Every structure is written in structure tokens, then in C-alpha cells.
Amino acid sequence: PGVYTEETSLFPPSVASLATAIPAFVGHTEKTGNQEEDDLINQPKRITSLLEFKALFGGSYTPDKYEVTLKDIDSLEIEKVEAQDGNGKNRNYYLYDSIRHYFDNGGGPCYVVSVGSYTDEIIPGDDTNGLIGGLKSLRQEEEPTLLLIPDSVLLADETATGTLHKDIVEQCADLQDRFGNLDVYNGNLSKSDSIDDFRDKIGTENLNYAAAYYPWLYTTYKKEVHFTQLEIKVKGKDKGI
């Protein structure tokens, strides 16, 4: 009586590794389903690699042409570069590049929601279409913990982007199991302009459920551009050279 033994483990306590965040990306993709119907629209899909993304959603967006505007003909200094479709309309999509960047930097499982193809306009939409429709479809998914919509900065103006940002924050606050990663509209411009507009449009409610990143990232990814895609103009002149 009064004698007992205590077993001491020779190994430290083991802790199972768990994913700290499962991001969900919403945006436009090359493919939206099979040839008969757009059965991927607003359907969250869990993927684990860029190869799996390409199999489901296709590859990156390739503009029909790039309009390069020079400041003057003597210095050949570039004023701006705009990606355009076959009708000469500015068009771009950022979802594929964001997914590629995510996996190239060690990303794991994530969700992707396609809201349209590369021929569709980027619009805020509503509960059933556009970027807001894709965002709404994530409400029923329990696993995602981060919400990201890279194409939000391609909307018509700061007001449209701000409306979408408010919807992201609202979903995070309602469900309390996810966090919004917001992109600053015109995040490539001076801080005073873009940040002030962002603060004005995002409002003041539930801001602890999101974060904004400024400025935009510049990556080392290279785009293959054929000379036939280039249209070179000089600032202040309508005709190309």
C-alpha cells in the first residue's frame, strides 16, 4: 500500500499537422464545363494542384493583342500596356495567375469557383451570377477559411469593387469561420489615391474579418508575346506605328 509506478514516455507528445487555411478563389476560367452545358458555373471545386486546375478549368487568358503606348517617339519610353480582345476592348483575367502563384509558393488544397469564361464580362452580379454569385456559392462549404477574388480589381470602378468587398466581409462575419483577403482597386497607383478610395468604399463594419494588401505584387512570371500581337502607338496620336 502507498507504492505506485509512473510511466514516463521517452518520446515528445505528437501533434498531428493540420492545414491552417484553405483558400477559396472566385473568378473567370477558360473552361466552365463540358460542351453541352456550363456545369462548373458557381460550383465550388476542391483541387490540390495546378495540373488539376488545368484539367477542370483550362489555362491562362491570352489576349488577341497588346496595345503599347509610348510617351514619345524619340525616347521609346512606355506609357502603358493594355491587353485587348479581338474587338479592341481592354480585357484581362487574374484568377489563373493567382492560382499558379499559390501553388508555386507551396500552396495545398484550395477551392475554385468559376463564374464565367474568358468571353464574359467581369461584373459584380447578384446572388446567382457574376462574382457575387460565385461568392454566395461558398456559403454552403465548411472547409474554406480564406476568400479571395483576384478579378475584383478588374471591375468597372472603385464602387463596384467596394460593394463586392462588403459582401466578402459580411459572409465572413455571418459564418465566423473564414477571413477575407481583399485587393485594392488601382493598387498599382500612388498610395494616397488608391488607399483613400478603398477606405471610403469598404465602410466601417466587421473590418476585423478581412485584410487588404498594398501595393500589387510584381512577379517574375514571363508572358509569351508574339510580335503579331503588338500594336504600338505614341501618346496623343490615334494611329499606330
Could you read off the pLDDT of 53-96 as tens digits, one per residue? 999 999 999 999 999 999 888 878 888 899 999 888 999 999 99
Cell of 240: 499606330
| Overall average pLDDT of the 128-154 stretch | 96
How confident is the model over 7-56, as pLDDT tens digits?
666 666 655 555 568 999 999 999 998 766 668 999 999 999 999 999 99
Please check whether residue 132 is in contact with residue 47, taking contact to mean a CB–CB distance below 8 angstroms.
Answer: no
- The three-point CA angle 68-193-152 to 5° equals 65
**pLDDT reported for residue 73:** 83
How confident is the model over 102-122, as pLDDT tens digits?
999 999 999 999 999 999 999
Cα→Cα distances 176→144, 148, 188, 208, Å:
11, 16, 31, 11
Separation between Cα atoms, residue 39 and residue 156, nearest integer Å: 27
For residues 189 and 16, which has the higher predicted lDDT (pLDDT)?
Answer: 189
What's the chain's average pLDDT?
Answer: 89
For residues 201 and 192, which has the higher predicted lDDT (pLDDT)?
Answer: 201
SS3 breakdown of the chain: % helix, strand, coil, rounded to 5? 30, 20, 50
Q: Is the pLDDT of residue 223 over 90?
A: no
**pLDDT reported for residue 33:** 87
Instruction: Give Cα 234 distance to the centre of its chain.
Output: 32
Task: Read off the pLDDT band of 147 (50, 70, 90).
Answer: very high
| Overall average pLDDT of the 182-197 stretch | 85
| Overall average pLDDT of the 133-161 stretch | 96
Helix axes 50-57, 95-104, angle to 10 degrees: 160
**pLDDT reported for residue 67:** 93
Separation between Cα atoms, residue 110 and residue 104, nearest integer Å: 13
**pLDDT reported for residue 17:** 53
Secondary structure of 175-206 in the HEC alphabet? HCCCEEEEECCCCCCCHHHHHHHHHHHHCCCC
Q: How far apart are the first and last CA of the chain?
A: 101
User: What pTM does this model have?
Assistant: 0.86
Please check whether residue 97 is in contact with residue 60, taking contact to mean a CB–CB distance below 8 angstroms.
Answer: yes
Task: Read off the pLDDT band of 217 (50, 70, 90).
Answer: confident
Cell of 195: 488607399
